A and B are shown apart, each in its own frame.
Chain A
Amino acid sequence: MIPEIMSETTTSLLLVISGACALLLVATIGGEILRLRLSPRGNHPTVETYTTRLHSWWGMVFLVSVALLSGHTGVVLLFAFASFAALREFLTLTRKTKADHWALIGAFYIVFPLQYLFIWMGAYGLYSIFIPVYAFLILPILSALRGAGTNFLSRVSETQWGLMICVFGASHIPALVTLDIHGSTGRSVLLIAFLVVVVQIGDLAEYYAGRRIGKTRIAPAISPKTKAGVICGASAAMATGFLLTWLTPFAPLEAIAVSLAIYLFGVGGSLVLAAIKADRGVKNWGHLIPGQGGFVDQMDSVVFAAPIFFHLTRYLYGA
């Protein structure tokens, strides 16, 4: 990598990070004003939840920023850790018996680390098929050898779906770093910033603005998301995508279209994971991120959006 390009990428990253911090700062000041008005003794639940969530957001922005600035290895390590925590949460809720023990050990100690090793190596031919081909064929064989048992098909499917979402999907976020884009060598780390910011801004717009104005729910059984909310979110995502075009190889219209696609897949992802939660009778996937629940709760939209974003970008601009 040529030093000038390195510094240009770093400058771009610092700009995005400053933008995110500015937004958080506005949200924090707003929150403190609300707290003085509504919750001087710290007993207003909505205000307190909001504050806890903001603290978590500061933490996440800090960690992602450090990882993106540190480059390739840092990015892979951060998302590998998040992926591990997500897989642990997901498989806690799936059906399993003693016969699946080796399959689960394989998923955690072999499939998960190898997938991130392939990503780190930039081995596209390996990381894009390793889980769907090798892991999906070998893990059920292990469960069968260890005694099969009742609900075999559902147990096997649940484990595999966990790997698909928490490892395969999530690993396509750091995989963006390995993309070789025409005409913008070394800038692919910025694609992660683009993906994360667009999807999260869309989600936040849907959550804080959209839910108040909308009436028709898009999936009433599992989620409070409304039609108007999703339209708000989509508009915010497209606007953000347009403003962040300079991070990507896209033309402005392409950036808007791609933003819409990843936002909608993100909404789909959070609906699917909400459906699983509703089915298992839990409110959150975990407890590790204060105010947000677990890693799966936080990453539900990004893990669905990441593979789509990765492949769209690769078809359009991949070398």
Chain B
Amino acid sequence: MRRIAANITGQFLALLVQFITAARADWRGVEPVNKQRIYFANHTSNADLPTIWTVPPPALRRVTRPVAAADYWLKTKARAFVGPEVFRAVLIDRRTDHQTEDPIEKIVAALDEGASIIIFPEGGRNRSDDPLMPFKAGLYNIAKARPDIDLVPTWINNISSVMPSGEVIPVPLGCTVIFGAPLHVEDTESKDAFLARASGELAALAPQNEEQPS
């Protein structure tokens, strides 16, 4: 019963996102095929997760699970339904003193079950004027744990204008989700070098002509 309700809610959310953003996937560096992947994306708005979840074909959406913050998604009953059941999010707690299990182990377990994952490696919403905040170590640790899985940089464009942080009503504006070419962590690569490279690949996907909001 809850499974059906979750499916219907998911369809409804996808329609709503389409209505507001006409969100479109630009598969620039990879094909939309069913292959296990770790999509890592920029994060500026609460609308990021629904948008990136909506754009792939339904067959891919069914095997893709976002990594999301437990402290956000378990706060209310509605969120606790949407996060874990509609998005089937892998919930991790950002507050170290609340962690009952190692977040990296939890994400790797989801990968081992065959799921693709979506992760926001900045560790929270970017409210600064820079295109990206420095990445947390999580992406490196996951990449080290499962080095064969493709890491796909995923740039979500324009969503911060649709719903700037602090606002609750989205404005209908077009959004594009750009999927770049996959990368892997090299054997000899240090954590910082890898995170800088991954961040650079992601930032390079951002359309150039767009003016940064001042």
Contacts and interface: CB of A to CB of B under 8 A. Distances in A.
Interface string A79-109: 0000011011101100111100100110011
Given A105-B169, A149-B214, A286-B22, A88 B164 contact: no
A287 B166 CA distance: 30
A268 B22 CA distance: 28
B211 A88 contact: no
B113 interface: no
Contact of A150 (B24, B161, B171, B214): B214
Interface in A108-154: 108-109, 149-151
A89 B174 contact: yes
Contact of B211 (A95, A101, A104, A105): A95
A281 B209 contact: yes
B112 interface: no
B167 interface: yes
Contacts of B214: 97, 149-151
B158 interface: yes
B171 A98 contact: no
B22 A288 contact: yes
B138 interface: no
A282 B209 contact: yes
Interface string B65-76: 000000000000
Contacts of B167: 98, 101
A281 B214 CA distance: 19
B173 A91 contact: yes
Given A149-B214, A150-B214, A101 B164 contact: yes
Contacts of B161: 96
A99 B209 CA distance: 22
Interface of A: 84-85, 87-89, 91-92, 95-98, 101, 104-105, 108-109, 149-151, 280-282, 286-288
27 contacts: A84-B172, A85-B22, A88-B22, A89-B174, A91-B172, A91-B173, A92-B173, A92-B174, A95-B211, A96-B161, A96-B213, A97-B214, A98-B166, A98-B167, A98-B213, A101-B164, A101-B171, A104-B171, A105-B171, A108-B171, A109-B169, A149-B214, A150-B214, A151-B214, A280-B209, A287-B24, A288-B22
Given A92-B173, A101-B167, A286-B174, 11 more contacts: A91-B171, A91-B172, A91-B173, A98-B166, A98-B167, A101-B164, A150-B214, A151-B214, A282-B209, A286-B22, A288-B22
